[in-house]
Structure 1
Amino acid sequence: MREPFTIRAAIRSDLGALLRLLQHLGDVPSPGHNARMSSAAVRAWTRIESDPDRTVLIAERRGQLIGTLDLILVANLTHDAKPWAVVDNLVVDPPHRRRGVGRALVDEAVDRAEAAGCFRMELLSHQSREDAHQFYAAVGFENSAEGFHRYL
């Protein structure tokens, strides 16, 4: 039997555990990736938590953070001025993968985006992450575009 977990919005006291969890995001940290508690991380968290269009969701089991997802709502002038949503930094702690945690995080993000009137939700995933792509397809995302990025 799987132990239950809860999904909730992260709070300031979750920051240290959240940063540790984010270290599992991908196999190799991206340039500039810094998952340690620093004054920059605290400043970034202060901006994130004060942004009404951004929610960091966490999955928690017995007081331990086991997954996270960053949901960003984007104001928009097309589609009758309906917003759209971005999912970023979805990660589940390796020992808790394939147990419904990622699906529950995505389901909560979808519910929140729909409640905000969003007309679409999108995410980017590195082309080498085939397991992640299978997961995204299983939770209703379609591979619909070729993405590009530029590190600054």
Structure 2
Amino acid sequence: MIIRSAIRSDLGAILRLLRELGDETPTHPSAVRMSSAAVRAWTRIETDEDRTVLVAERRGQIIGTLDLLLVANLTHDAKPWALVDNVVVEAGSRRGGVGRALVDDAVDRAARAGCYKVEVLSHERRHGAHAFYTTLGFDNTTEGFRRYL
């Protein structure tokens, strides 16, 4: 298995994986699909030097993905911080170290960028994900709030 930065030809596989997140709400359906809007969003993502979508690849197949965003900051001596989002591993490859490898790579990239912290958000109902992040050294120290627009 290799972890690498995603390229444009990975977009279909990434969208397929993101469907597994099931982040739908009654008022905000997920609608993860190949569309002109998704292609435009990908173009913005791939040209943003502070954004990296990682993929885990095994035998030519994309089996996991993670989105890493580096955020400029004025506190902590102007050191940036990092946000990890949209972590998903295909069902048949879970519990095999894929998620750990993705997160470890993201944390390493954040450290090399001089970040003082890495944040990961996970929906309150995802107890298995919470346990996973705890095993990777993340602390549940914050209560988050969200407002959909």
TM range (shorter): over 0.9
Match of 1:15 in 2: 11
Q: Give yes or no for the alignment of 1:145 onto 2:142.
A: yes
Q: How many residues align?
A: 147
Matched to 2:82, the amino acid is A
| Alignment correspondent of 1:129 | 126
Q: 1:25 aligned to 2:5?
A: no
1:41 and 1:32 map into 2 onto residues whose CA distance is 15
Looking at structure 2, the residues matched to 94 and 29 of structure 1 have their Cα atoms a distance apart, in angstroms, of: 18
Unaligned runs of 5+ in 2: none
Q: For residues 28-107 of structure 1, what are the structure 2 equivalents within 5 Å?
A: 28-30=23-25, 31-107=28-104
Instruction: Give 3-state SS (helix, strand or coil) of 2:102's partner.
Output: helix
Shift of 1:111: 0.4
Cα contact 1:23–1:29 (8 A) shared by 2: no
Match of 1:45, as an amino acid? Answer: W
Letter in 2 for 1:102: G
Aligned sequence identity (%): 69
RMSD, matched Cα? 0.9
User: Shift of residue 29 of structure 1?
Assistant: 2.9
d(CA) in 2 for partners of 1:22 and 1:73?
21
How far apart are residue 35 of structure 1 and its match?
1.5
The Cα offsets for residues 83-108 of structure 1, whole Å up to 9 and x where unpaired, read as 00000000000100000000000000
Code of the residue aligned with 1:117 in structure 2: it is G
Q: What does the per-residue CA deviation read over 1:50-94, in whole Å, with 9 as the maximum and x for residues that have no partner?
A: 000000000011111100000000000000000000000000001
Matching residue's letter, 1:110:
V
- Once the two structures are superposed, what CA deviation does each residue of 1:29-63 show, in whole Å capped at 9, x if it has no partner? 34242211100000000000000000000001111
